[in-house]
A and B are shown apart, each in its own frame.
Chain A
Amino acid sequence: MSNFMRTQFPIAIFIICQFYIFFEFFIPIPGGPALTSLLGKWVVCVSNFALLLGALNLIRFHGKNIVKQTKNEWYHGAIILVSMTAMFVSGWFFKPLYTWLYANIYTGLNTALMCYVGFYFYSAMYKTFKVRNFESFITLFACITMLIANAPISGTVWGLADIGIWIANVPGSGAWRGFLMSAALGMFAVAIRAAMGLERAYTGGSD
Protein backbone atom coordinates (compact mmCIF):
# COMPACT_ATOMS: atom_id res chain seq x y z
CA MET A 1 0.00 0.00 0.00
CA SER A 2 2.78 2.37 0.98
CA ASN A 3 4.70 1.79 -2.26
CA PHE A 4 1.48 2.08 -4.26
CA MET A 5 0.66 5.49 -2.74
CA ARG A 6 4.24 6.74 -3.09
CA THR A 7 4.95 5.69 -6.68
CA GLN A 8 2.21 3.95 -8.63
CA PHE A 9 -0.72 6.12 -7.58
CA PRO A 10 0.85 9.38 -8.86
CA ILE A 11 1.79 7.68 -12.14
CA ALA A 12 -1.78 6.35 -12.45
CA ILE A 13 -3.16 9.88 -11.87
CA PHE A 14 -0.79 11.25 -14.51
CA ILE A 15 -1.74 8.63 -17.11
CA ILE A 16 -5.49 8.89 -16.51
CA CYS A 17 -5.49 12.73 -16.73
CA GLN A 18 -3.19 12.84 -19.74
CA PHE A 19 -5.01 10.18 -21.75
CA TYR A 20 -8.46 11.51 -20.93
CA ILE A 21 -7.71 15.15 -21.81
CA PHE A 22 -5.78 14.23 -24.95
CA PHE A 23 -8.21 11.69 -26.43
CA GLU A 24 -11.34 13.64 -25.41
CA PHE A 25 -10.23 16.19 -28.03
CA PHE A 26 -10.39 13.59 -30.80
CA ILE A 27 -13.13 11.18 -29.62
CA PRO A 28 -16.53 12.66 -28.66
CA ILE A 29 -17.44 11.53 -25.15
CA PRO A 30 -20.80 12.52 -23.56
CA GLY A 31 -20.10 15.12 -20.90
CA GLY A 32 -16.46 15.16 -21.97
CA PRO A 33 -16.06 18.88 -22.69
CA ALA A 34 -17.66 19.82 -19.35
CA LEU A 35 -15.34 17.51 -17.40
CA THR A 36 -12.32 18.82 -19.33
CA SER A 37 -13.30 22.41 -18.45
CA LEU A 38 -13.72 21.40 -14.79
CA LEU A 39 -10.30 19.72 -14.69
CA GLY A 40 -8.78 22.80 -16.33
CA LYS A 41 -10.32 25.02 -13.66
CA TRP A 42 -9.03 22.72 -10.91
CA VAL A 43 -5.50 22.89 -12.34
CA VAL A 44 -5.79 26.70 -12.27
CA CYS A 45 -6.55 26.52 -8.53
CA VAL A 46 -3.82 23.97 -7.74
CA SER A 47 -1.31 26.08 -9.74
CA ASN A 48 -2.13 29.00 -7.43
CA PHE A 49 -1.15 26.84 -4.47
CA ALA A 50 2.06 25.81 -6.28
CA LEU A 51 3.01 29.47 -6.77
CA LEU A 52 2.22 30.20 -3.12
CA LEU A 53 4.47 27.27 -2.22
CA GLY A 54 7.33 29.01 -4.03
CA ALA A 55 6.78 32.17 -2.02
CA LEU A 56 6.56 30.18 1.23
CA ASN A 57 9.83 28.40 0.41
CA LEU A 58 11.48 31.80 -0.04
CA ILE A 59 10.24 32.85 3.41
CA ARG A 60 11.44 29.57 4.93
CA PHE A 61 14.91 29.84 3.35
CA HIS A 62 15.56 33.43 4.39
CA GLY A 63 13.87 32.93 7.76
CA LYS A 64 16.34 30.12 8.52
CA ASN A 65 19.28 32.37 7.60
CA ILE A 66 18.03 35.10 9.94
CA VAL A 67 17.39 32.71 12.83
CA LYS A 68 20.81 31.06 12.43
CA GLN A 69 22.42 34.51 11.86
CA THR A 70 24.31 33.06 8.86
CA LYS A 71 27.42 35.17 8.31
CA ASN A 72 27.12 37.73 5.47
CA GLU A 73 23.68 36.41 4.54
CA TRP A 74 21.22 37.10 7.33
CA TYR A 75 20.84 40.84 6.70
CA HIS A 76 20.07 40.19 3.01
CA GLY A 77 17.34 37.81 4.19
CA ALA A 78 16.07 40.46 6.60
CA ILE A 79 15.73 43.09 3.84
CA ILE A 80 13.96 40.58 1.61
CA LEU A 81 11.48 39.49 4.28
CA VAL A 82 10.75 43.04 5.48
CA SER A 83 10.06 44.27 1.92
CA MET A 84 8.03 41.14 1.16
CA THR A 85 5.88 41.70 4.25
CA ALA A 86 5.44 45.38 3.42
CA MET A 87 4.23 44.53 -0.08
CA PHE A 88 1.90 41.74 1.07
CA VAL A 89 0.34 43.67 3.95
CA SER A 90 -0.05 46.89 1.94
CA GLY A 91 -1.79 44.90 -0.82
CA TRP A 92 -4.53 43.90 1.58
CA PHE A 93 -4.70 46.94 3.88
CA PHE A 94 -2.96 50.01 2.45
CA LYS A 95 -3.36 50.31 -1.31
CA PRO A 96 -1.45 53.64 -1.86
CA LEU A 97 1.79 52.06 -0.56
CA TYR A 98 1.12 48.92 -2.61
CA THR A 99 0.63 50.96 -5.79
CA TRP A 100 3.77 52.98 -5.09
CA LEU A 101 5.86 49.87 -4.46
CA TYR A 102 4.53 48.20 -7.60
CA ALA A 103 5.10 51.16 -9.91
CA ASN A 104 8.49 52.14 -8.52
CA ILE A 105 10.23 49.11 -7.03
CA TYR A 106 8.62 46.18 -8.86
CA THR A 107 8.69 47.88 -12.25
CA GLY A 108 11.18 50.77 -12.06
CA LEU A 109 13.95 49.34 -9.89
CA ASN A 110 13.62 45.93 -11.57
CA THR A 111 14.20 47.64 -14.93
CA ALA A 112 17.28 49.40 -13.52
CA LEU A 113 18.66 46.06 -12.33
CA MET A 114 17.96 44.48 -15.74
CA CYS A 115 20.10 47.19 -17.40
CA TYR A 116 23.01 45.06 -16.18
CA VAL A 117 22.13 42.56 -18.95
CA GLY A 118 22.27 45.21 -21.66
CA PHE A 119 25.60 46.63 -20.50
CA TYR A 120 27.25 43.22 -20.21
CA PHE A 121 25.86 42.14 -23.57
CA TYR A 122 27.68 45.03 -25.21
CA SER A 123 30.85 44.16 -23.35
CA ALA A 124 30.46 40.53 -24.50
CA MET A 125 30.02 41.68 -28.09
CA TYR A 126 33.43 43.31 -27.93
CA LYS A 127 35.32 40.72 -25.89
CA THR A 128 33.68 37.37 -26.58
CA PHE A 129 32.06 37.29 -30.03
CA LYS A 130 35.22 36.28 -31.92
CA VAL A 131 35.33 34.54 -35.28
CA ARG A 132 37.32 31.31 -35.03
CA ASN A 133 35.85 29.20 -37.82
CA PHE A 134 33.36 29.33 -40.70
CA GLU A 135 30.33 28.61 -38.51
CA SER A 136 31.13 31.44 -36.10
CA PHE A 137 31.67 33.73 -39.09
CA ILE A 138 28.19 32.86 -40.39
CA THR A 139 26.70 33.52 -36.94
CA LEU A 140 28.50 36.85 -36.67
CA PHE A 141 27.45 37.89 -40.18
CA ALA A 142 23.80 37.10 -39.43
CA CYS A 143 24.09 38.99 -36.12
CA ILE A 144 25.57 42.10 -37.75
CA THR A 145 22.99 42.16 -40.56
CA MET A 146 20.17 41.84 -38.00
CA LEU A 147 21.64 44.67 -35.89
CA ILE A 148 21.77 46.88 -38.98
CA ALA A 149 18.19 45.91 -39.90
CA ASN A 150 16.92 46.71 -36.40
CA ALA A 151 18.44 50.22 -36.41
CA PRO A 152 15.58 52.29 -37.85
CA ILE A 153 17.92 54.66 -39.65
CA SER A 154 19.24 51.78 -41.79
CA GLY A 155 15.87 51.62 -43.55
CA THR A 156 16.56 54.98 -45.16
CA VAL A 157 19.57 53.62 -47.07
CA TRP A 158 18.31 51.45 -49.94
CA GLY A 159 18.81 47.73 -49.32
CA LEU A 160 20.86 48.04 -46.12
CA ALA A 161 18.16 46.72 -43.80
CA ASP A 162 16.79 44.24 -46.36
CA ILE A 163 19.70 41.80 -46.11
CA GLY A 164 19.18 41.29 -42.37
CA ILE A 165 15.42 41.02 -42.76
CA TRP A 166 15.79 38.44 -45.56
CA ILE A 167 18.22 36.39 -43.45
CA ALA A 168 15.81 36.46 -40.47
CA ASN A 169 12.69 35.79 -42.58
CA VAL A 170 13.92 33.03 -44.88
CA PRO A 171 16.80 30.83 -43.66
CA GLY A 172 16.41 32.01 -40.04
CA SER A 173 12.71 31.33 -39.73
CA GLY A 174 13.07 28.10 -41.75
CA ALA A 175 15.53 26.83 -39.14
CA TRP A 176 13.21 28.00 -36.33
CA ARG A 177 10.37 26.08 -37.92
CA GLY A 178 12.65 23.03 -37.72
CA PHE A 179 13.35 23.76 -34.01
CA LEU A 180 9.67 24.10 -33.21
CA MET A 181 8.75 20.90 -35.04
CA SER A 182 11.61 19.02 -33.34
CA ALA A 183 10.53 20.38 -29.95
CA ALA A 184 6.94 19.24 -30.59
CA LEU A 185 8.11 15.75 -31.61
CA GLY A 186 10.31 15.65 -28.51
CA MET A 187 7.30 16.63 -26.40
CA PHE A 188 5.39 13.63 -27.78
CA ALA A 189 8.33 11.34 -27.08
CA VAL A 190 8.59 12.54 -23.47
CA ALA A 191 4.81 12.26 -23.00
CA ILE A 192 4.84 8.66 -24.25
CA ARG A 193 7.77 7.85 -21.94
CA ALA A 194 5.95 9.46 -19.01
CA ALA A 195 2.77 7.51 -19.83
CA MET A 196 4.83 4.30 -19.78
CA GLY A 197 6.17 5.27 -16.35
CA LEU A 198 9.74 5.79 -17.60
CA GLU A 199 9.84 9.55 -16.85
CA ARG A 200 9.24 10.12 -13.17
CA ALA A 201 10.58 13.60 -12.52
CA TYR A 202 7.20 14.69 -11.17
CA THR A 203 7.25 11.82 -8.65
CA GLY A 204 10.61 12.94 -7.29
CA GLY A 205 12.57 10.39 -9.32
CA SER A 206 12.74 6.61 -8.62
CA ASP A 207 11.79 5.52 -5.11
Chain B
Amino acid sequence: MSLLEKIDKLDRRIIFLILLLLCFFPVLMPLGLPVPVSPATTSAYNALATLKPNDVICITFDYAGGSAAELYPQNLVILKHALKLNLRAVAVSFSVGGLELADQCLAEAGWGSKTYGVDYVNLGFVSGTETGMAAFVKDIQATISADARGTPLSQIPLMNDVKNINSFKYLAFTTSTSQDMYVRQFSGKGVPIIGCIQSLYFSVLQVYMGSGQIVGFLNGLRGSAEYEVMIKELGIGAISMDQASLTHWFAVLLLIMGNITSYFVRKNPRVKGGK
Protein backbone atom coordinates (compact mmCIF):
# COMPACT_ATOMS: atom_id res chain seq x y z
CA MET B 1 0.00 0.00 0.00
CA SER B 2 1.30 3.46 -0.90
CA LEU B 3 1.58 6.18 1.75
CA LEU B 4 -1.53 7.88 0.34
CA GLU B 5 -3.56 4.68 0.62
CA LYS B 6 -2.31 4.14 4.18
CA ILE B 7 -3.41 7.67 5.12
CA ASP B 8 -6.76 7.15 3.38
CA LYS B 9 -7.34 3.93 5.35
CA LEU B 10 -6.13 5.43 8.65
CA ASP B 11 -7.26 3.39 11.68
CA ARG B 12 -10.03 5.30 13.43
CA ARG B 13 -8.38 4.58 16.79
CA ILE B 14 -5.51 6.90 15.83
CA ILE B 15 -8.06 9.68 15.25
CA PHE B 16 -9.60 8.91 18.67
CA LEU B 17 -6.19 9.08 20.33
CA ILE B 18 -5.27 12.41 18.72
CA LEU B 19 -8.67 13.83 19.67
CA LEU B 20 -8.27 12.65 23.26
CA LEU B 21 -4.82 14.24 23.49
CA LEU B 22 -6.16 17.53 22.06
CA CYS B 23 -8.88 17.49 24.73
CA PHE B 24 -6.51 16.74 27.61
CA PHE B 25 -3.74 19.16 26.62
CA PRO B 26 -5.54 22.52 27.19
CA VAL B 27 -6.86 21.32 30.58
CA LEU B 28 -3.35 20.43 31.75
CA MET B 29 -1.81 23.57 30.20
CA PRO B 30 -4.48 26.32 29.73
CA LEU B 31 -3.86 28.39 26.61
CA GLY B 32 -6.08 31.35 27.57
CA LEU B 33 -7.35 31.84 23.99
CA PRO B 34 -9.80 34.76 23.58
CA VAL B 35 -13.58 34.23 23.46
CA PRO B 36 -15.43 36.83 21.33
CA VAL B 37 -19.03 37.44 22.45
CA SER B 38 -21.86 36.89 19.95
CA PRO B 39 -24.92 39.17 19.56
CA ALA B 40 -27.25 36.37 20.73
CA THR B 41 -25.42 36.09 24.07
CA THR B 42 -25.28 39.87 24.45
CA SER B 43 -29.07 40.04 23.99
CA ALA B 44 -29.58 37.26 26.52
CA TYR B 45 -27.33 39.08 29.00
CA ASN B 46 -29.10 42.41 28.50
CA ALA B 47 -32.53 40.80 28.97
CA LEU B 48 -31.51 39.81 32.52
CA ALA B 49 -29.39 42.87 33.30
CA THR B 50 -32.30 45.28 32.71
CA LEU B 51 -34.50 43.64 35.37
CA LYS B 52 -35.14 45.26 38.76
CA PRO B 53 -34.32 43.65 42.15
CA ASN B 54 -36.97 41.14 43.34
CA ASP B 55 -38.29 40.55 39.81
CA VAL B 56 -39.14 36.89 39.33
CA ILE B 57 -37.45 34.83 36.63
CA CYS B 58 -38.18 31.28 35.51
CA ILE B 59 -35.67 28.71 34.32
CA THR B 60 -36.65 25.31 32.95
CA PHE B 61 -34.38 22.30 33.41
CA ASP B 62 -35.38 19.94 30.62
CA TYR B 63 -32.32 17.81 30.14
CA ALA B 64 -30.46 15.16 32.03
CA GLY B 65 -27.57 12.76 31.94
CA GLY B 66 -25.12 13.42 29.15
CA SER B 67 -26.77 16.63 27.91
CA ALA B 68 -25.97 18.24 31.25
CA ALA B 69 -22.37 18.61 30.08
CA GLU B 70 -23.44 21.25 27.55
CA LEU B 71 -26.54 22.74 29.17
CA TYR B 72 -25.81 22.79 32.90
CA PRO B 73 -23.05 25.47 32.60
CA GLN B 74 -25.57 27.74 30.83
CA ASN B 75 -28.10 27.49 33.67
CA LEU B 76 -25.32 27.92 36.22
CA VAL B 77 -24.06 31.15 34.70
CA ILE B 78 -27.58 32.62 34.34
CA LEU B 79 -28.39 31.79 37.98
CA LYS B 80 -25.08 33.32 39.13
CA HIS B 81 -25.95 36.49 37.22
CA ALA B 82 -29.50 36.50 38.64
CA LEU B 83 -28.12 36.13 42.18
CA LYS B 84 -25.83 39.13 41.65
CA LEU B 85 -28.82 41.17 40.47
CA ASN B 86 -30.88 40.20 43.54
CA LEU B 87 -33.67 38.61 41.52
CA ARG B 88 -36.01 35.80 42.59
CA ALA B 89 -35.88 32.48 40.77
CA VAL B 90 -38.41 29.78 39.98
CA ALA B 91 -37.04 26.49 38.62
CA VAL B 92 -39.31 24.01 36.86
CA SER B 93 -38.80 20.90 34.79
CA PHE B 94 -40.94 19.62 31.90
CA SER B 95 -38.69 16.61 31.46
CA VAL B 96 -38.29 14.01 34.18
CA GLY B 97 -34.49 14.06 34.13
CA GLY B 98 -34.02 17.68 35.12
CA LEU B 99 -35.64 17.49 38.55
CA GLU B 100 -32.43 16.92 40.54
CA LEU B 101 -30.29 19.20 38.36
CA ALA B 102 -32.36 22.22 39.35
CA ASP B 103 -31.53 21.79 43.05
CA GLN B 104 -27.89 21.09 42.26
CA CYS B 105 -27.59 24.14 40.00
CA LEU B 106 -29.27 26.49 42.48
CA ALA B 107 -26.92 25.31 45.23
CA GLU B 108 -23.81 25.57 43.07
CA ALA B 109 -24.76 29.07 41.88
CA GLY B 110 -24.85 30.21 45.51
CA TRP B 111 -28.60 30.42 46.07
CA GLY B 112 -28.12 28.53 49.35
CA SER B 113 -27.34 31.95 50.85
CA LYS B 114 -30.92 32.99 50.05
CA THR B 115 -34.13 31.69 51.63
CA TYR B 116 -35.90 28.80 49.94
CA GLY B 117 -39.57 29.56 49.39
CA VAL B 118 -39.02 33.31 49.63
CA ASP B 119 -36.23 34.02 47.14
CA TYR B 120 -36.26 30.85 45.09
CA VAL B 121 -38.25 27.67 44.64
CA ASN B 122 -37.99 24.44 42.69
CA LEU B 123 -41.45 23.54 41.39
CA GLY B 124 -40.32 20.09 40.31
CA PHE B 125 -41.49 18.11 37.34
CA VAL B 126 -44.57 18.87 35.22
CA SER B 127 -45.50 15.94 33.02
CA GLY B 128 -47.17 16.06 29.59
CA THR B 129 -44.44 18.05 27.76
CA GLU B 130 -46.28 20.54 25.55
CA THR B 131 -49.62 20.04 27.28
CA GLY B 132 -47.89 20.52 30.60
CA MET B 133 -46.32 23.73 29.30
CA ALA B 134 -49.66 25.02 28.05
CA ALA B 135 -51.23 24.31 31.45
CA PHE B 136 -48.26 25.98 33.20
CA VAL B 137 -48.58 29.09 31.02
CA LYS B 138 -52.29 29.44 31.81
CA ASP B 139 -52.36 28.72 35.54
CA ILE B 140 -49.39 27.47 37.54
CA GLN B 141 -51.29 26.88 40.78
CA ALA B 142 -53.88 24.68 39.00
CA THR B 143 -51.16 22.63 37.26
CA ILE B 144 -48.81 22.06 40.19
CA SER B 145 -50.04 21.27 43.71
CA ALA B 146 -46.68 21.03 45.46
CA ASP B 147 -43.06 21.93 44.86
CA ALA B 148 -40.21 19.41 44.40
CA ARG B 149 -40.00 18.94 48.20
CA GLY B 150 -43.70 18.12 48.49
CA THR B 151 -44.64 21.46 50.11
CA PRO B 152 -48.09 22.68 48.93
CA LEU B 153 -47.75 25.86 46.87
CA SER B 154 -50.12 27.66 49.20
CA GLN B 155 -47.43 27.42 51.90
CA ILE B 156 -44.68 28.95 49.71
CA PRO B 157 -44.53 32.79 50.05
CA LEU B 158 -42.88 33.29 46.63
CA MET B 159 -45.84 31.63 44.91
CA ASN B 160 -48.16 34.41 46.14
CA ASP B 161 -46.59 36.54 43.40
CA VAL B 162 -46.53 33.77 40.76
CA LYS B 163 -49.85 32.86 39.12
CA ASN B 164 -49.09 32.29 35.44
CA ILE B 165 -46.40 33.03 32.85
CA ASN B 166 -47.04 36.78 33.03
CA SER B 167 -45.78 36.78 36.63
CA PHE B 168 -42.27 36.25 35.25
CA LYS B 169 -40.11 39.05 33.89
CA TYR B 170 -37.78 36.62 32.10
CA LEU B 171 -37.99 32.97 31.12
CA ALA B 172 -35.06 30.80 30.03
CA PHE B 173 -35.90 27.41 28.58
CA THR B 174 -33.15 24.80 28.59
CA THR B 175 -33.67 21.71 26.51
CA SER B 176 -31.75 18.99 24.74
CA THR B 177 -34.64 18.24 22.39
CA SER B 178 -37.14 20.18 20.30
CA GLN B 179 -37.30 23.87 21.14
CA ASP B 180 -40.35 24.25 18.94
CA MET B 181 -42.82 23.47 21.72
CA TYR B 182 -41.27 26.04 24.07
CA VAL B 183 -41.46 28.77 21.46
CA ARG B 184 -45.03 27.78 20.53
CA GLN B 185 -46.23 27.87 24.12
CA PHE B 186 -44.11 30.57 25.79
CA SER B 187 -43.57 33.22 23.11
CA GLY B 188 -46.02 35.99 22.35
CA LYS B 189 -47.11 36.34 26.00
CA GLY B 190 -45.11 39.52 26.69
CA VAL B 191 -42.34 37.73 28.62
CA PRO B 192 -38.75 37.90 27.28
CA ILE B 193 -37.76 34.36 26.32
CA ILE B 194 -34.17 33.12 26.23
CA GLY B 195 -33.12 29.78 24.76
CA CYS B 196 -30.38 27.68 26.36
CA ILE B 197 -29.66 25.09 23.74
CA GLN B 198 -27.17 22.63 22.38
CA SER B 199 -25.12 24.21 19.63
CA LEU B 200 -26.63 21.69 17.21
CA TYR B 201 -29.74 23.92 17.13
CA PHE B 202 -27.93 27.20 16.44
CA SER B 203 -29.59 27.82 13.04
CA VAL B 204 -33.05 27.01 14.40
CA LEU B 205 -32.70 29.49 17.27
CA GLN B 206 -31.51 32.12 14.79
CA VAL B 207 -34.92 31.75 13.08
CA TYR B 208 -36.75 32.32 16.36
CA MET B 209 -34.56 35.28 17.22
CA GLY B 210 -34.95 36.79 13.75
CA SER B 211 -38.74 36.61 14.00
CA GLY B 212 -38.71 38.12 17.49
CA GLN B 213 -40.11 35.03 19.22
CA ILE B 214 -37.08 34.89 21.51
CA VAL B 215 -34.91 37.74 22.72
CA GLY B 216 -31.58 35.90 22.74
CA PHE B 217 -30.00 32.51 23.24
CA LEU B 218 -26.88 30.78 24.52
CA ASN B 219 -25.20 28.64 21.90
CA GLY B 220 -24.13 25.55 23.81
CA LEU B 221 -20.92 25.55 25.79
CA ARG B 222 -19.65 28.50 23.78
CA GLY B 223 -22.67 30.53 24.87
CA SER B 224 -21.96 29.82 28.52
CA ALA B 225 -18.29 30.78 28.01
CA GLU B 226 -19.34 34.08 26.42
CA TYR B 227 -21.78 34.76 29.28
CA GLU B 228 -19.07 33.97 31.85
CA VAL B 229 -16.84 36.55 30.14
CA MET B 230 -19.66 39.12 30.35
CA ILE B 231 -20.33 38.56 34.07
CA LYS B 232 -16.57 38.32 34.67
CA GLU B 233 -16.76 34.94 36.40
CA LEU B 234 -14.90 32.40 34.33
CA GLY B 235 -15.93 28.76 34.81
CA ILE B 236 -16.44 25.49 32.94
CA GLY B 237 -17.40 27.20 29.69
CA ALA B 238 -14.27 29.32 29.48
CA ILE B 239 -11.99 26.33 30.23
CA SER B 240 -13.66 24.36 27.45
CA MET B 241 -13.09 27.03 24.81
CA ASP B 242 -9.39 26.23 24.53
CA GLN B 243 -10.38 22.61 23.89
CA ALA B 244 -13.04 23.78 21.41
CA SER B 245 -10.58 25.86 19.40
CA LEU B 246 -8.09 23.01 19.01
CA THR B 247 -10.63 20.26 18.30
CA HIS B 248 -12.63 22.31 15.79
CA TRP B 249 -9.55 23.08 13.73
CA PHE B 250 -8.65 19.37 13.97
CA ALA B 251 -12.10 18.59 12.55
CA VAL B 252 -11.51 21.01 9.66
CA LEU B 253 -8.17 19.31 8.98
CA LEU B 254 -9.80 15.85 9.00
CA LEU B 255 -12.53 16.92 6.56
CA ILE B 256 -10.07 18.49 4.11
CA MET B 257 -7.45 15.73 4.42
CA GLY B 258 -10.06 12.97 4.10
CA ASN B 259 -11.36 14.43 0.87
CA ILE B 260 -7.93 15.17 -0.63
CA THR B 261 -6.53 11.68 0.06
CA SER B 262 -9.70 9.96 -1.12
CA TYR B 263 -9.65 12.05 -4.35
CA PHE B 264 -6.04 11.14 -5.18
CA VAL B 265 -6.53 7.48 -4.27
CA ARG B 266 -9.57 7.29 -6.59
CA LYS B 267 -7.63 8.98 -9.38
CA ASN B 268 -4.66 6.55 -9.05
CA PRO B 269 -5.01 3.81 -11.71
CA ARG B 270 -2.93 1.39 -9.60
CA VAL B 271 -5.61 1.41 -6.91
CA LYS B 272 -8.44 -1.09 -7.39
CA GLY B 273 -11.50 0.85 -8.56
CA GLY B 274 -9.43 3.93 -9.47
CA LYS B 275 -9.73 5.65 -12.86
Does more than half of chain B's interface fall in helix, strand or loop, or is it mixed? Answer: helix
Binds B, one of A8-16, A77-85, A167-175, A192-200: A167-175
The minimal Cβ–Cβ distance linking B62 to chain A, given in whole angstroms, is 14
Q: Which residues of A contact B38 (CB under 8 A)?
A: 165
A168 touches B206 (CB 8 A): yes
Known A-B contacts A151-B244, A152-B35; the reply to A127 vs B206 at CB < 8 A is no
Which one of B12, B35, B203 has the greatest number of beta carbons of chain A within 10 Å? B203
In the complex, the chain A residue whose C-beta lies closest to that of B180 is A180
Known A-B contacts A150-B199, A151-B249, A156-B36; the reply to A51 vs B127 at CB < 8 A is yes
Bound: A186/B124 CA distance, A? 33
Bound: A16/B225 CA distance, A? 49
B255 touches A129 (CB 8 A): yes
Contact of A33 among B138, B241, B251 (CB under 8 A): B138
* Interface flag for A144 (CB, 8 Å): yes
In the complex, the chain B residue whose C-beta lies closest to that of A178 is B207
Report, as a range, how many residues of chain B touch the other chain. 35 or more
* Interface flag for A3 (CB, 8 Å): no
B 256-267 to A, binary, CB cutoff 8 A, 1 in contact else 0? 111100110000
* Interface flag for A188 (CB, 8 Å): no
Bound: A33/B137 CA distance, A? 12
Known A-B contacts A111-B68, A125-B251, A176-B207; the reply to A47 vs B244 at CB < 8 A is no
* Interface flag for B159 (CB, 8 Å): no
Bound: A111/B221 CA distance, A? 15
Bound: A206/B89 CA distance, A? 49
Taking A40-B134, A111-B69, A125-B258 as known contacts, 10 extra A-B pairs with beta carbons closer than 8 A to each other, sorted by chain A number, are: A40-B135, A43-B135, A47-B129, A47-B131, A107-B64, A126-B257, A148-B248, A152-B225, A155-B36, A156-B36
Which residues on A are within 8 Å of B, measured CB to CB? 33, 36-38, 40-41, 43-45, 47-48, 51, 99, 102-103, 106-107, 110-111, 113-114, 118-120, 122-123, 125-127, 129-131, 140, 143-144, 147-148, 150-156, 161, 165, 168-169, 172-173, 176-177, 180, 183
